[in-house]
Amino acid sequence: MISDTMRMRMNQQINRELYSAYLYLSLSAHAERVNLKGTAAWFMAKHAEEMTHALKMYRYLLDQDAQVELAAVDAPPVSPDGVMAMFEGTLTHEREVTAAINDLVDLALSEKDHATNIFLQWFVTEQIEEEATVNDIIGRLQLFGDKGQGLLMIDNELGTAAKTMGQAQAPEAGA
């Protein structure tokens, strides 16, 4: 069984993950509106991934006989101005999530909550991947541009990546 403090903080993280999903759903809609189908698909895949993260934590709390307390999810910010702003905002957001996960790990370590520490290690690794992926996209946007042919090329790559992300999610969704 986990401490009340850990239960409360994990519930806050579930809310953070749901917000992430909501943010990426919003960004997907924005990309779709400006005819960036690959970017829209990538953000939609991110939406599904964040929902999976929230549900992993939800299941963990229940498995630890801890109460799940869902809270209201804040509305994401208004549509960004351009593709570069979308990904720069995404990187900022992912860094905030990384900091929150690291804080949970610190709490687990201070409480000698070995089970939660082990559980959270998957999220630590996931956040490294999340930030690296977005950094790579930003680098490509800086290199090739976020307009014209460069943007079209990156949009196509994001569409292809979204298909791969969706396939990676499929087995987990059925678990």
Domains parsed from the chain with CATH numbers = 4-173 (1.20.1260.10)
Confidence (pLDDT) at 170? 47
Q: What tokens does 103 get?
A: 């804080």
pTM greater than 0.85? yes
* Average pLDDT of the residues of the chain: 92
pLDDT-flagged residues of the chain (< 70): 166-175
Q: What tokens does 59 get?
A: 């299941």
Confidence (pLDDT) at 149? 87
d(CA 34, CA 42): 14
Confidence (pLDDT) at 165? 85
Confidence (pLDDT) at 124? 98
In terms of Cβ atoms closer than 10 Å to its own Cβ (0-12, 13-18, 19+), residue 156 is middle
